Amino acid sequence: GAVVSQHPSWVICKSGTSVKIECRSLDFQATTMFWYRQFPKQSLMLMATSNEGSKATYEQGVEKDKFLINHASLTLSTLTVTSAHPEDSSFYICSANRGQGVGEQYFGPGTRLTVT
């Protein structure tokens, strides 16, 4: 099946610093990628939809100035958590649809962010 990778798999940073997470589709092109956040013992919550060559679409309640998304190519989307705080500690997961229309969505392995 299609493969989506994320880097890094885990990161620890100090409060107030910024962290960049990369999401790559390794064997297919993705015009749209998605970023989810998952807190312990909770389900995945969609944060934003990343569109290649245009601005991301953020879900209600997600601060676009805090979670910067860049989708510069058909295989790479990045999420930058700016001025991170302990409450931003979470499991961040990206995904991408392969092809148009109905089809499976492929997920990355996730990035565990811990802000101290």
Partner 1 sequence: DAKTTQPTSMDCAEGRAANLPCNHSTISGNEYVYWYRQIHSQGPQYIIHGLKNNETNEMASLIITEDRKSSTLILPHATLRDTAVYYCIVRLGSARQLTFGSGTQLTVLP
Contacts with partner 1 by CB under 8 A lie at 1, 4, 6, 32, 34, 36, 43-46, 49, 91, 93, 95, 97, 101-102, 104-110, 112
Give the nearest distance from C-beta 76 to partner 1 in angstroms: 17
Q: What is the CA radius of gyration of the chain?
A: 13
Closer CB to partner 1, residue 14 or residue 102?
102
Give the nearest distance from C-beta 24 to partner 1 in angstroms: 13
Instruction: Using DSSP, state whether 76 is helix, strand or coil.
Output: strand
Closer CB to partner 1, residue 1 or residue 14?
1
Sequence-ordered list of residues with C-beta below 8 angstroms from that of 81, at least 6 positions apart, any chain: 18, 19, 21, 66, 67, 88, 113
Q: How far apart are CA 2 and CA 84, in angstroms?
A: 32
Q: How far apart are CA 85 and CA 87, in angstroms?
A: 5
Give the nearest distance from C-beta 34 to partner 1 in angstroms: 6
Closer CB to partner 1, residue 82 or residue 89?
89
